[in-house]
Every structure is written in C-alpha cells, then in structure tokens.
A = this chain, B = another copy of it.
Amino acid sequence: MIGKKNNPKAVVLLSGGLDSATTAAIAMEQGFGVHGLTIDYGQRHAIETDAARRLGKALNLVAHIFQSVDLRAFGASALTDSIPVPKSTRGDAIQAGIPVTYVPARNTIFLSLALGYAEAIGATDIFIGVNAVDYSGYPDCRPAFIEAFERLANLATRDGVEGDGESLRIHAPLIHRTKAQIIREGVRLGVDFSLTHSCYDPTPEGLACGLCDSCWLRKRGFAEASVVDPIPYSPETSG
C-alpha cells in the first residue's frame, strides 16, 4: 500500500491466529499504518509467534515488535501451566463457563503493552481481535471490558493530562462476529490463512491437533463459511 507510512498509526495485537490477522487487515483497509505487536507470554508452543512473524511479513506492516513476558510464573491456565488442554473427537469439549485455557488477565496485559507502544510512537488507535461470540467464556473478551480499557487508557497516558482525554480508541472489530463471518471477512481482505495458527496443543512437528476447543472453533468456522481451511491437521486426529 503506497504511502502507508504517512497514514495515521495504529498498534495491532498480532497473535498468529486468524482473528488477529483479519483484524490487522481491517486496520489497514481503514487507512492505518499498522504497527504490529506480538507477545510471547510463555504459552506452550513457539509456533504461534512464528506464525505471527510470517503474517507480519505477508501483511507488509510498517513495523512489528515482539515482546516477551513469562506468564508461566503465574500459571493457573492450561496454556501456561501443567493443566491439560481439553480435547474431544466430537467437538463437544467446549464447555459453558470460563475454559481452563483462560489465562488470567492476559488481554489486560496485552492491551497495556499495546498502550505503552502506542503512546511511545504517538498512535491513538489500538486494535485487538477479541471475539465475544464464540469465546463468550473469557471475561476479557467482552465489550464491557474493552470499553473499560478504553476509559482507563485515556486516563493513563499523556493525553489524559495534556489533551482532552478522549483521543485513545480501542478497536475490537470482530467482537460481535462469528468465526465464519471473520473468515469471510479475512478472505475478502486477502488474508493468507495458510500462515495462521490456532491450535492450543500442536504436534511436535507443528501440526494442529484438530481436537482442542480452538481447532474445533476454527474447523466449524471454515465449514460454516464454506471456505476450505488451508492448514494441515495431524493425520492421527483428523477423520
């Protein structure tokens, strides 16, 4: 995109999954010069950050920063502790309530880091690919959480003292969309979903397990969107 370095800056949290990749593409379509922020939080596999790196290159971001913060020190999640990731051969492992894959305060920590990055580069727009439809069990994926963070962000930063205290905006463009709708939007925007990674518990070779909640949500989303999922799944588990 010619001239995008002169566009207004936005920080986009880029995890390596299909939601955040689509979110970055939406921010670019809206005319922002996208500065990606990927956070290695000590999740069980590095495949996710590798996917984010490839996506950042494919999306031709203005800049892409990687941060590390080791949430294994706190634990208490199947993604950062020795708690097993729930799996099912029928897609019925997705339980009501807060899943054990919930990482305490993860999105608060992610948005805080994005806020630090945004303030440092003079960006007033932060994008996060949270989704309240398929992941309603996560407290920090709800619209009320995003609104509260936006209010906090405007108090926490220079503009809250020197400006009108209303300049920072937290964008969560996928919050009310289903996985199928997100996939269709990504297809429209040309996102290369073959580069994305969703699985909570990939094989040592990096193949998606096909059995965890995240794999089931992804597979169901592609099926509902009538789009072929371009990633391979572990042959032991795909049926």
**What residues of chain A have their CB less than 8 Å away from a CB belonging to chain B?**
65-71, 73-77, 97-98, 102-109, 111-113, 115-121, 137, 139-140, 142, 144-145, 148-149, 151-153, 155-158, 160-162
- When distances are taken between beta carbons in the complex, the residues of chain B under 8 Å from A107 are 156
Q: Which of B103, B139, B149 contacts A161 (CB 8 A)?
A: B139
- When distances are taken between beta carbons in the complex, the residues of chain B under 8 Å from A77 are 120
Most buried by B among A139, A144, A162: A139
Give bound CA distance, A75 to B117, whole Å: 8
Distance from A218 Cβ to chain B, minimum over Cβ atoms (Å)? 24
Known pairs A69-B113, A76-B119, A106-B116; list 16 more (Cβ under 8 Å): A65-B73, A65-B74, A73-B117, A74-B119, A76-B120, A104-B117, A104-B118, A104-B120, A105-B113, A107-B156, A108-B153, A109-B112, A109-B113, A109-B115, A145-B152, A152-B152
Question: Given A69-B69, A116-B74, A157 and B105 touching (CB < 8 A)?
Answer: yes
Q: Which of B67, B70, B76, B105 contacts A112 (CB 8 A)?
A: B105
Distance from A54 Cβ to chain B, minimum over Cβ atoms (Å)? 20
Judge whether A104 and B69 touch: CB under 8 Å.
no
Give bound CA distance, A158 to B142, whole Å: 12
Judge whether B156 and A139 touch: CB under 8 Å.
yes
- When distances are taken between beta carbons in the complex, the residues of chain B under 8 Å from A149 are 152
- When distances are taken between beta carbons in the complex, the residues of chain B under 8 Å from A142 are 155
Most buried by B among A97, A105, A118, A140: A105
- When distances are taken between beta carbons in the complex, the residues of chain B under 8 Å from A97 are 162
- When distances are taken between beta carbons in the complex, the residues of chain B under 8 Å from A157 are 104-105, 139-140
Give bound CA distance, A144 to B71, whole Å: 28
Looking across the interface, which residue of chain B has its beta carbon closest to that of A106? B116
Judge whether A156 and B161 touch: CB under 8 Å.
no
Judge whether B74 and A120 touch: CB under 8 Å.
yes
- When distances are taken between beta carbons in the complex, the residues of chain B under 8 Å from A144 are 155
Judge whether A148 and B155 touch: CB under 8 Å.
yes
Judge whether A109 and B116 touch: CB under 8 Å.
yes
6 contacts across the A-B interface (CB closer than 8 A): A71-B116, A74-B121, A105-B113, A144-B155, A145-B160, A148-B156
- When distances are taken between beta carbons in the complex, the residues of chain B under 8 Å from A162 are 97-98
